[in-house]
Amino acid sequence: MRRAERAYLAGMAVAGCLVENVKPYLTPWLLSLGIPVSGGRAELPRRYCRYSPKTLLEHIYFIKGAFETHGEFFVGDPHGGGVVVIFKTGARRLAVSLRLAGLNPLVTTDEGGNRKFIVLYSGRDVRRFLKVVKPVVEEAAVAKLLGLCTQSS
């Protein structure tokens, strides 16, 4: 297995080896690797839960795996009105990888202080995230707000 693939799987496992909400487009790939997937859940081998990326390319794939499993674009930012990137985990390894990619993540909690999140607020960080990580954007409305749709219909 290539190092980038290992880093992507480790990003998926950044919040634990039991991965919830596996995207449907990842299921055939995970099954081809021998990782069982059922009901949108996958249990990754322990080696991915302890993995730490070493090269810049590994950090990028680690971030991509974490975003496509635990992240989303949020359009209702009350502070600036732009699109923000939210990771539904506060994993320290992910924050380090984001910083090494030149981004400024904010590690925060929900209102009750129970769950940690990592958020990219600034427009510069969101643009750099899109340019460097190249995540899958599933919603057309979000893609349009991010400037990824150049043609009008």
pLDDT in tens, 18-34: 999 898 889 999 999 99
Of 95, 23, 29, 109, the closest CA to residue 62 belongs to: 95
Instruction: Calculate Rg over the CA atoms of the chain.
Output: 15
At residue 153 the predicted structure's pLDDT band, cuts being 50, 70 and 90, is low
Give the per-residue pLDDT at 54: 92
Say if residue 45's pLDDT is above 80: yes
Confidence of residue 44 (pLDDT cuts 50, 70, 90): very high
* pTM (two decimals): 0.88
Give the architecture-level CATH label for domain 3-145: Roll (3.10)
| 84-139 residue pLDDT tens | 899 998 899 999 999 999 999 999 888 888 889 999 988 899 889 988 888 888 87
Which class for 62: exposed (0-12), middle (13-18), buried (19 or more C-beta within 10 A)?
buried
Q: Are 66 and 94 in contact (CB under 8 A)?
A: yes
